[in-house]
Amino acid sequence: MATLTRPNIVLINCDDLGYGDPGCYGSTVNRTPVLDRMAAEGIRFTDFYMASPVCSPSRGAMMTGCYPPRIGFDSFDGAAVLFPGQGVGLHAGEQTIAGLLKEQGYATMIVGKWHCGDQPEFLPTRHGFDHYYGLPYSNDMGRQVGREKYPPLPLLRDEAIMQEQPDQAALTERYTEECVRFIRANKDRPFFLYLAHMYVHRPIYAPERFMKQSKNGRYGAGVECVDWSAGVILHELARWGLDANTLMLFTSDNGSRARDEGGSNAPLRGTKATTWEGGQRVPCIMRWPAAIPAGRVCRELVTAMDFLPTFVRLAGGKPPSDRIIDGKDIAALMLGADGAASPHDAFFYYWKHNLDAVRSGKWKLHLRKRDDALRELYDLDSDVGETTNVYADHPDVVEALLAKIDACRADLGDAATGVEGANRRPIGRVDNPRPLTHYDPAHPYIEALYDLKDGG
């Protein structure tokens, strides 16, 4: 094998893509030949989790390696995600994957959706990224039919607004070109590229080519456009001889809405914004020809919070030692080391301030859903769809999981039981926040009002 350190890292994160949406995870309606190739040439994880079932806390957790309550991202002045012009976001004192890799000499860039705060103090360029090109929040937070309350959707380069209300059908091609530019500009040094797609968050505007070929409507067009983009990046890496020593990852920020628009979390129960498996267990594919053996499937529990310590160590650095980091180094699992197992004794599911559930090994215990308390236990090895409650049959398992819940409450808090949590850090705050844009009837928008009513 070639060197196992200092790989280039390309992290592709989709928006609302479900567990069952890629072909290699079982889809028969979305064509994803590039993602399927990545899985065949690398490793596919079956038990990979985001730390939240919605976008802002999920992304903040991935960037910092911490559970959302750890960094004050469990709620945003009462909201589940960040909205335009809010005065809260990622605290200036938090350390991110990008910042830590930059310290190791990596060039860093994010292309696409940030959603960790839109005020200047919270933008990616203040959190370790050399450059930024994309939307600071969700693509339904611009002016569209039925949502005229929002300011025009801003497309940023670094911290400057380049366009308002861009043509969303053209954005993925523009994003992909930015990725190509970045790779070419940094092909002679290690780099970290974070591509955060807007697909398949609604509204879904896709290029005509993908709309025509899709067997799954707008949703399938979005999925297949994402697959095309991954193919462009792989082609570019190969063109410059970077393919072998580039770790390329593909995942999603949370599960699909999976109602009637074409998404699938099959065979999982639940959707985006729930702490059932379908809300937080998502696809994860990793490909690194120099180091990851081809064609592997990993069934160990891993999380997006693990990216930070893993990437930093691969780059030759060390994770922060002055704060609690919840992620673990999963390099042994990625590289197929003999006997490698999940480094997590337990994984905790939060909805905003409430601790909803815990998984340890094959067991998952649910405590509540929104305002409703419940007691449900599932064996995820034999019942991944969470269909058969075996709470009454395993009191010893329940007792052990409740002890882990108590420890988590003491650490991170739980509003449902009134526990504050001893190891929470503050969210970032600014005075006098303002939206980045304001509607101007005289402005030459290319899309003054998006015509789809879909959102969320």
Q: What is the average pLDDT across 258-264? A: 83
| Choice among 55, 66, 116, 179 that is catalytic | 55
> How far is Cα 285 from Cα 187, in angstroms, rounded to an integer?
23
Cα separation, 342 vs 49, in Å, equals 12
pLDDT attached to residue 124: 98
Q: Cβ distance 255 to 278 under 8 Å?
A: yes
Query: Of 91, 115, 344, 366, which residue is the catalytic one?
Result: 115
Instruction: Tell me whether residue 225 is one of the annotated catalytic residues.
Output: no
For residue 233, pLDDT beyond 90: yes
Separation CA 284–CA 333 (nearest Å): 13
Longest dimension (CA), the chain: 68
The pLDDT tens digits of the residues spanning 265-309 come to 999 999 999 999 999 999 999 999 999 999 999 999 999 999 999
Per-residue pLDDT band at 4 (split at 50, 70, 90): low
On whether the CB atoms of residues 424 and 72 are closer than 8 A, the answer is yes
C-alpha 24, offset from chain centre: 19
Q: For this structure, is 298 an active site residue?
A: no
Provide mean pLDDT across the span 178-199.
98
Mean pLDDT score, 381-396: 98
Which amino acid is located at 331 in the chain? Answer: A
| Domains with residue ranges and CATH for the chain | 8-335 (3.40.720.10), 347-423 (3.30.1120.10)
Task: For residue 261, name the pLDDT band (cuts at 50, 70, 90).
Answer: confident
- pTM for this predicted structure: 0.97
Average pLDDT over residues 323-340: 96
With b for 16 or more beta-carbon neighbours within 10 A and e for fewer, the 307-339 pattern comes to bbbbbbebbebebbeebebbbbbbbebbbeeee
CB atoms within 10 A of CB 282: 30
How many other C-beta atoms are found inside a 10 Å radius of the C-beta of residue 406?
13
